[in-house]
Structure 1
Amino acid sequence: MDIEGQRLSPSLDGLFSPRSVALVGASSTTTKWGFAYARQLLGGASKRRIDLINQRGETILGEKSYTSLRSLPEAPELAVICVPAAQVAQAIDEGLEIGTRYFVCITAGFGEIGEEGRRVQNEIRDRVRAAGARLVGPNCAGLYDAAANLECTAFWKLAPGDIGIISQSGGVIVDLGARLPRESLGISRAVSVGNQADLTVEEFIESFATDPNTRVIVAYNEEFRDGRRLFQAIEYARKLGKEVVLVAPRASEAVGRSVASHTGSMISNEDVLASLCAEFDVVRVRGIGDLFLALRGLSAPVRAPGQRVAVIADGGGFATLGTDAAIEEGLEVPAFSPKLLAKLTEIMTSNSGMGNPIDYVGALDLASFKPVISAIASSGEVDAILLNGAYNNVAGATADSEAAVAADIRNVCQETGVAVSVATMITSEPAMVAFAADRVPVFDFPAEAARCLALGRQRHPQRELPTIGSTRQYAGKTDYLTSRNALAASGIEFTQAIYAGNADEAANAASTIGYPVVLKALGSLHKSNSGAVVLGISDEASLRAKMETLTNRLEPTGFSIEEMVVEREGIELLIGAIRDPAFGPTVVVAAGGTKTEIWRDRVVALAPVEEDVARRMLSSLRIAPLFAGFRGSPPISLDTVAGAVAAISRFMAEHHNVMEAEINPLIAGPTRCVAVDARIVAAQ
């Protein structure tokens, strides 16, 4: 497989290991950032030429300075811009004139302050790109590379290691720089992306993925501009064996949509992000605490290949609490096979609980658990072991002997590919200290141990990222009947419907369709909300009377006379599609009907989806047990429903100006799956 061929952006190695650097705005005043950056950059002077640019030509930290980039004897590969905002454009233009390839703009006062700042920022970006150069920032805090001895920062003091940090916040990098050494971890590369006028988080993920010194990439994101591009970068990194941890606070509920459909009112940015992280099995955390649980899990000797966990404890309460913690994290605690139970019976005391969780009665120290752990790890029945209990040091045992027990357990788990995480009230015991020294996670509480296992497990995406082929403009109208016809043409079955402009036309339409019929007054966006839908009209007199009532009350633009669906065992579903501002076309499946916003039972996926993905979405709903038949009711045809979901997802993906499309309800029954209402919202 040509992994490099899947990369979407060029290499940035020259940015992190430049042959030469110029600091524009270097200062001899110790309180200015120009002084702090000069001091940090000069620390790598043995690796590269460092030129200081100061308008007055001052001597700074014992080094001469130049008055401009043009006065340098040769062009720097990287220019760091640390001058007032009004001088940034000139400094970058000078660098472009002499052939500088990379710029890091520390200065603020651009896109983050308003429209005028954004205009100037975009002009600078366009000039940089036109010259074939690249720009970090503006409004950033710099970058760092341990192997290249590059400290293009004002105040970061970072311990070297194998964790790469990409952050929209320079302060987060400072925080991680202080905390990581406490976990015996350090940073390989770091970059503060600032306003991302040019270089983006996605491009840095791809760059870090090819860095041989980076093992895990941490990306702190506060906003998502091109969500698909982000997930493509994560997919690329994982194919190169690098895990990506996405640190993303809860996304805003303000989605910036017209919210013309039920789907639009139900689905937030957070719903989309959470669903996609689950669908593509991306490690996503919302805070620094969980980030460190993830890093400890990803740095452990073994990462669990799956979600099956054995809980082993030295007390009934510990067993129960450990099991609850595992289940809370979405892990499985499966019952052991008769073969494994027989083996455990030979090892453990007869009054112990052996069925998973394990309550080993009479075990007073970790050594007692060693044969139990060995038997379970060797069984092939679990992917991880959660130890939860006191695990005292046996009386008279030396620290070395206890450490040897811990080493034996670690070795067994490594040899069998089973992860282990420990929760104990006595983390200072020699065995626990030995575990921690070998990077086996040790915690005070089982909730932390279980979450560490869950976050650190191996990842298994449910599918590859879908691609969107050529798209076209949706040129049709978005009125109700045209929307029905457009979605029907995409492959979705609808009830029969005939337009009627007056009562006589309505009577003829009903006679053609056959009573009972449904009467819908047209012109209202949410027909059910305004009382514009009348179900089960059984004769012409009732039809004419209802039409007169609706005409007087609503002044509709016309009427739709439709077949009345009588599906006693039918389930109402909503299938819809939303063009998310960050992630593009998405498809939604939900419990449908007039109360769909109340049920909020929905699943989101990137569009387009194939029918196998659509079936998986349907099976993920809370109402999914109804599909197979419930208390004697017949099952529905999931294949037909999945076909409708796939069809609306294709419609959304193929029409770049469609913002929302919805069918609510889609009535799925044992003999028929038919849509009875439709809506399309297109960009103005």
Structure 2
Amino acid sequence: MNMTSRKFSADLSGLFNPRSVAVIGASSTPGKWGFEYARQLLKGQSGRDIFLVNHNGGNILGNECYTSVQSLPVAPELAVICVPAAHVRTALQQVLENGTHYIVCVTAGFKEAGEEGVRLENEMQELVRASGARLVGPNCVGLYDATANLACTAFWDLPPGDIGIISQSGGVIIELGTRLQRLNRGISRAVSVGNQADLSVAEFIESFATDSNTKVITAYIEEFRDGRRLFEAIEYSRSLGKEVILLAPQAGEAVGRSVASHTGSMISNEDVLASACAELDVVRVRSIGDLLLALRAYEAPARARGRRVAVVADGGGAATLGTDAAVAEGLEVPAFSGELVRVLQEISPMSSGLGNPVDLVAAFDLGVFQPIIRAIVSSGEVDAVLLNGAFNNEAGASIEAERAVAANISDICNQSGVALSVATVLPAEPAMVALAEGRIPVFDYAVEAARCLNFGRRRSPRSALTPIDGFSQFAGEVDYLGSRDALANAGVTFSKAIHASDADEAALAANSIGYPVVLKALGSLHKSDSGAVILGIPDELTLRGRVADLITKLRPTGFSVEQMVMERDAVEVLIGGVRDPAFGPTVVVAAGGTKTEIWRDRVVALAPVDETTALRLLNSLRIAPLFEGFRGGSKVDLHAVAKAVTAVSRFVSQHENISEAEINPLIVGPTRCIAVDARIVLSQ
């Protein structure tokens, strides 16, 4: 998908660099929002008109107040609304009628306050969108732009820099500003999105991506709304060379669905979020500490092109711990080639371990490591070096000499485009200080060094988001047989099935299909759990008896008489689709059958998916060895299964009113791939 051809958000440059700003509800009382916004905005007044509106008039910080929006000399490009919730609608109508294009609504008491707040927020949204204006908030704490000298905030005092911050928490922005300043880093733009009644996190990502002063974008997200839109924005940002780091705590388990199927009960928002981040190789962190590690990685002079890491240490323990840390982060510590090992043997101390990790026993002088690192980097066999050890000064060496060695090692890596990350127990040593001054990440522990390398590596998405080609409402039947027909029309192969109302019709159906047959009593949600499925009925006499038993036991609405699928070395697979409230259409592949929820062997992806992605999902299951013919079994037609996965994913993504769709099981064997049960659930 060519993301640059997609129509993205309108230009928001006027929001972050307005010609004029009005504070509606300005106050003369320090500590109140109306006073703090006025104070901050007036500090950056040069080249920008600041209007203070207070219905009582008066003077605030040496500036006369206007008593109404209508009395302003010009329509402000940006209006900050600080009035109580009961007066927000009036203030909003006034600024919109006056021609203001951007609004920041600080006031709380809307969606987060209950049903009445939801109603008020919906009214606000309708007013803004009808006027063509754009709204930040409500329930937010403003925005900031270093280059424009705009501090449209109450309490932030942020250091200028090149990091963009988009946050659902104003407090996170304050904390990041404080911590970044300690690292001599700063912020280019920041925005507190609040309730996102209009402008969303995704739109701000797109806007920040086009800002020449922003080098990397961070987004703190507590609640995912349109997760697909968010990942589209991340793809767009990457197409412009800007990486996005998601600071996202674990998403909640409550999914807000009917969960009428196995599929609906087995996945959560966290499953979808984690899967999407993995598929698109998005940097997702769960703590501010890890976010700062990622930012340090992006600041480093070289970033790893891949996952291959050389661990170089001054002892066996350090080598082992460094290797374990790298592998735990999903990095690779590949064995060196014989040629590289021979080169290292010529320049390494005796008794060194040289196969990767490299263990230079008791070689504390950093100068000993310099030729080793040069040989490793020049081999082209690794993308990064993790250096782990004590690294004392060489006896008698000057501080300048130690710093020079550090500079040489840094240059060796940087010039080859190989990332370097260091863990040391002696970070205050001159060489370590020199590395840190050169923006090489230096840490106390190997875990931090490895994590930094992983965060900073060049991202390699497994695939791009597949566009959804049109939407429609599903108008077919969603009973059992209707669900089978709909999914069969979508491209899934099903076993033969005939509806029967009674024993006579069941016998006719069975004679048409051929014994043995399967008898299913219709009307039960989970047929196997209620005893509504009888397999392998061999003849008409047995069939009539089973029909009578089911009528007595379950009082079904009818019966489905079906072909008995008997496949040698068969594997049962579940294919499901769920319209997640936060991420939209998804597809799930899992170990199938009646025990699918016990096995919990499943993977999920944003839908629709192509066959390549479907094959990757199938091969990531724990049951994947069965597809290849485990212990003498027959190899199955996995491409046929992948076609079924893509068909279900398209079906769910194209019908907006489908909440869940499921095939369980799909019986997969060496000669065929055939579905024997289906369910479709419409949105409530």
Q: Distance in 1 between matches of 2:396 and 2:572?
A: 68
| Number of residue pairs matched by the alignment | 684
Counterpart residue identity of residue 154, structure 1: A
Deviations along 1:105-133, one digit per CA (max 9) or x if unpaired, are 11111222122222222222222222222
Q: Distance in 1 between matches of 2:661 and 2:32?
A: 55
Counterpart residue identity of residue 599, structure 1: W
1:260 alignment counterpart = 260
Deviations along 1:423-452, one digit per CA (max 9) or x if unpaired, are 111111111111111121111111111111
CA contact (8 A) 2:436 2:442 kept: yes
2:208 alignment counterpart = 208
1:109 alignment counterpart = 109
Q: Distance in 2 between matches of 1:446 and 1:209?
A: 33
Counterpart residue identity of residue 17, structure 1: N
1:71 alignment counterpart = 71
1:331 alignment counterpart = 331
Deviations along 1:452-504, one digit per CA (max 9) or x if unpaired, are 11111111112221111222221111111111121112221111222222223
Residues 15-26 of structure 1 aligned to structure 2 (within 5 Å) = 15-26=15-26
2:345 alignment counterpart = 345
Greater CA drift, 502-511 or 363-372: 502-511
1:648 alignment counterpart = 648
Q: Distance in 1 between matches of 2:495 and 2:217?
A: 51
User: Following TM superposition, by how much is the alpha carbon of 1:264 offset from its aligned partner in structure 2, in angstroms?
Assistant: 0.3
Counterpart residue identity of residue 115, structure 2: E
Q: Distance in 2 between matches of 1:204 and 1:47?
A: 25
Residues 272-351 of structure 1 aligned to structure 2 (within 5 Å) = 272-351=272-351
Q: What's the secondary structure of 1:185's corresponding residue? A: coil
2:607 alignment counterpart = 607
CA contact (8 A) 2:4 2:239 kept: no
Is residue 2:477 matched to residue 1:468?
Answer: no
User: Following TM superposition, by how much is the alpha carbon of 1:357 offset from its aligned partner in structure 2, in angstroms?
Assistant: 1.2
CA contact (8 A) 1:7 1:206 kept: no
Is residue 2:379 matched to residue 1:379?
Answer: yes
User: Following TM superposition, by how much is the alpha carbon of 1:234 offset from its aligned partner in structure 2, in angstroms?
Assistant: 0.9
User: Following TM superposition, by how much is the alpha carbon of 1:551 offset from its aligned partner in structure 2, in angstroms?
Assistant: 2.1
Q: Distance in 2 between matches of 1:122 and 1:560?
A: 47
Q: Distance in 2 between matches of 1:30 and 1:47?
A: 25
Q: Distance in 1 between matches of 2:682 and 2:347?
A: 68
Is residue 2:559 matched to residue 1:559?
Answer: yes
Deviations along 1:23-64, one digit per CA (max 9) or x if unpaired, are 112222123222211111111111311121122222111222
Q: Distance in 2 between matches of 1:408 and 1:21?
A: 52
User: Following TM superposition, by how much is the alpha carbon of 1:554 offset from its aligned partner in structure 2, in angstroms?
Assistant: 1.2
Residues 402-551 of structure 1 aligned to structure 2 (within 5 Å) = 402-551=402-551
Q: Distance in 1 between matches of 2:125 and 2:506?
A: 61
Q: Distance in 2 between matches of 1:625 and 1:182?
A: 51
2:247 alignment counterpart = 247
Counterpart residue identity of residue 231, structure 1: F
Q: Distance in 1 between matches of 2:529 and 2:557?
A: 17
User: Following TM superposition, by how much is the alpha carbon of 1:505 offset from its aligned partner in structure 2, in angstroms?
Assistant: 2.5
Unaligned runs of 5+ in 2: none
Q: What's the secondary structure of 2:50's corresponding residue? A: strand
2:630 alignment counterpart = 630
User: Following TM superposition, by how much is the alpha carbon of 1:190 offset from its aligned partner in structure 2, in angstroms?
Assistant: 0.5
Q: Distance in 2 between matches of 1:680 and 1:542?
A: 31
Q: Distance in 2 between matches of 1:261 and 1:556?
A: 20
1:137 alignment counterpart = 137
Deviations along 1:564-587, one digit per CA (max 9) or x if unpaired, are 222231111111111111221111
Counterpart residue identity of residue 77, structure 1: E
Counterpart residue identity of residue 80, structure 1: V
1:596 alignment counterpart = 596
Q: What's the secondary structure of 1:166's corresponding residue? A: strand
User: Following TM superposition, by how much is the alpha carbon of 1:342 offset from its aligned partner in structure 2, in angstroms?
Assistant: 1.4
Counterpart residue identity of residue 267, structure 2: I
Counterpart residue identity of residue 657, structure 1: N
1:666 alignment counterpart = 666
Q: What's the secondary structure of 1:582's corresponding residue? A: coil
CA contact (8 A) 1:550 1:556 kept: yes
CA contact (8 A) 2:568 2:670 kept: no
CA contact (8 A) 1:507 1:540 kept: yes
1:168 alignment counterpart = 168
Counterpart residue identity of residue 306, structure 2: G
1:571 alignment counterpart = 571
Q: What's the secondary structure of 2:128's corresponding residue? A: helix
CA contact (8 A) 2:609 2:646 kept: yes
Greater CA drift, 188-197 or 382-391: 382-391
Quickly say closer, same or farther: Cα 1:9–1:601, change in 2 above 3 A: same
Q: Distance in 1 between matches of 2:452 and 2:418?
A: 14
User: Following TM superposition, by how much is the alpha carbon of 1:2 offset from its aligned partner in structure 2, in angstroms?
Assistant: 8.9
Q: What's the secondary structure of 2:18's corresponding residue? A: coil
Give % identity.
68
Counterpart residue identity of residue 63, structure 2: E
Q: Distance in 2 between matches of 1:639 and 1:287?
A: 40
1:619 alignment counterpart = 619
1:119 alignment counterpart = 119
**Normalization by structure 1: what TM-score?**
0.97
User: Following TM superposition, by how much is the alpha carbon of 1:664 offset from its aligned partner in structure 2, in angstroms?
Assistant: 0.7
User: Following TM superposition, by how much is the alpha carbon of 1:3 offset from its aligned partner in structure 2, in angstroms?
Assistant: 7.1
CA contact (8 A) 1:349 1:362 kept: no
1:363 alignment counterpart = 363
CA contact (8 A) 1:47 1:149 kept: no
Q: What's the secondary structure of 1:618's corresponding residue? A: helix
Q: Distance in 2 between matches of 1:386 and 1:548?
A: 72
Unaligned runs of 5+ in 1: none
Quickly say closer, same or farther: Cα 1:7–1:301, change in 2 above 3 A: farther
Deviations along 1:200-221, one digit per CA (max 9) or x if unpaired, are 1111111111111101111111
Deviations along 1:158-197, one digit per CA (max 9) or x if unpaired, are 1111111111111111111111112221111011111111
Quickly say closer, same or farther: Cα 1:207–1:613, change in 2 above 3 A: same
Greater CA drift, 258-267 or 474-483: 474-483
Counterpart residue identity of residue 69, structure 1: V
Greater CA drift, 250-259 or 345-354: 345-354
User: Following TM superposition, by how much is the alpha carbon of 1:93 offset from its aligned partner in structure 2, in angstroms?
Assistant: 2.1
CA contact (8 A) 2:573 2:589 kept: yes
Q: What's the secondary structure of 1:435's corresponding residue? A: helix
Q: RMSD of the alignment, in Å? A: 1.6
Is residue 2:158 matched to residue 1:158?
Answer: yes
CA contact (8 A) 1:385 1:420 kept: yes
Q: Distance in 2 between matches of 1:124 and 1:506?
A: 60
CA contact (8 A) 1:3 1:240 kept: no
Q: Distance in 2 between matches of 1:153 and 1:357?
A: 50
Q: Distance in 2 between matches of 1:477 and 1:7?
A: 36
Greater CA drift, 340-349 or 168-177: 340-349
Q: Distance in 1 between matches of 2:100 and 2:541?
A: 83
User: Following TM superposition, by how much is the alpha carbon of 1:681 offset from its aligned partner in structure 2, in angstroms?
Assistant: 0.8
Quickly say closer, same or farther: Cα 1:494–1:2, change in 2 above 3 A: closer
CA contact (8 A) 2:139 2:195 kept: yes
User: Following TM superposition, by how much is the alpha carbon of 1:547 offset from its aligned partner in structure 2, in angstroms?
Assistant: 2.5
Quickly say closer, same or farther: Cα 1:38–1:471, change in 2 above 3 A: closer
Greater CA drift, 259-268 or 409-418: 409-418
